[in-house]
Amino acid sequence: MNRLLFIALLFSTLVSCDSSNLFEKVDFNDGDKLVFKYMNEDFITPEEDHEFHKKNGHFYISDVNALNSLKGLLKEKTNRPSENSGFAYMITLVSEDKSLFLGMYDLQKEILFSSSYYKLRIEDIEKFSDKFIPIEKYNIQFQTIPSLKKGVELLKQNNFEVEHYQKIIESGLAEFNGMTTIKTTRLEFHNIENVNSVEKKIKEDLKSINFEYKLAGFSTDMDSVEIQIASNQDLANSLPSNYVIFKPYNETVELFPIEAYNIENVDLKNLFRNNNIKYKLVD
């Protein structure tokens, strides 16, 4: 995704935020952490990266005086820029009982959008750099659905900031415990380039299956189509004759990674090993 489009989409979500989540409404308390997560590092090369991010990475501020001083800088309102630069930090307020989205900071434009647009110079933020506490970011690919469920629960219990898990929730995979991969010939699909058409045909062909399942994904090659079905039981005795089992029902799945920001400096390796979580870290 183009980084300008990516940041524009992030900015567009701010309009619907509840006013109780906005930066200017926050009264910092002892124990609050203002978390700065750089949002477009996957879309740029090191040469393109902004110097502020190169120097500081992901970080948080918990010093109350620094937080209030930083908030006090947000007095000079400005207009919304015609376009965003593509170099932005997402800012959230994290404490024991909440995680609130507060705003987005455009590094190149030096504008923070919270309830309004504010001029905020990088040099003024860097005055508090001795209060920046680094955050390590992990890209975690869970190897089984039960590990995904338990792993995310453990991350949240240990105050990790977790991103992209909602996508898995919305996909329906988290409702089930395993996956079956089935296969058929490409000749079965007359409009393979149309995703909606393919999904419609798969659901029509599998309508005789009398238990809950979720179409998790599919892939094609020159001759065949592979379809991933999430469920809580085997499909082997429920398939139409034009489908075969390619990979039998099991808990091991190909899940896209989630992002986890280690705010409390927890030993992730020990946390997951002690709870038998199957995962790998990816770039």
Tens digit of each residue's pLDDT (9 = 90 or more) over 192-226: 677 788 888 888 888 888 888 888 778 888 888 88
Q: What pLDDT score does 9 carry?
A: 40
Give the domain ranges of the chain.
3-134, 138-171+254-281, 178-250
pLDDT tens-digit map of 59-108: 999 999 999 999 888 888 888 777 666 678 889 888 777 778 888 898 88
Predicted confidence (pLDDT) at residue 271 exceeds the cutoff of 90 = yes
Look at the domain 178-250 and name its fold.
Alpha-Beta Plaits (3.30.70)
Cα three-residue angle 64-65-66, rounded to 5 degrees: 90
pTM for the predicted model, two decimal places: 0.68
Q: Which of 166, 127, 113, 173 is nearest to 146 (CA)?
A: 173
Q: What is the mean pLDDT of residues 123-136?
A: 94
Residue 79: the pLDDT is 82
Q: What percent of the chain has pLDDT over 70?
A: 83
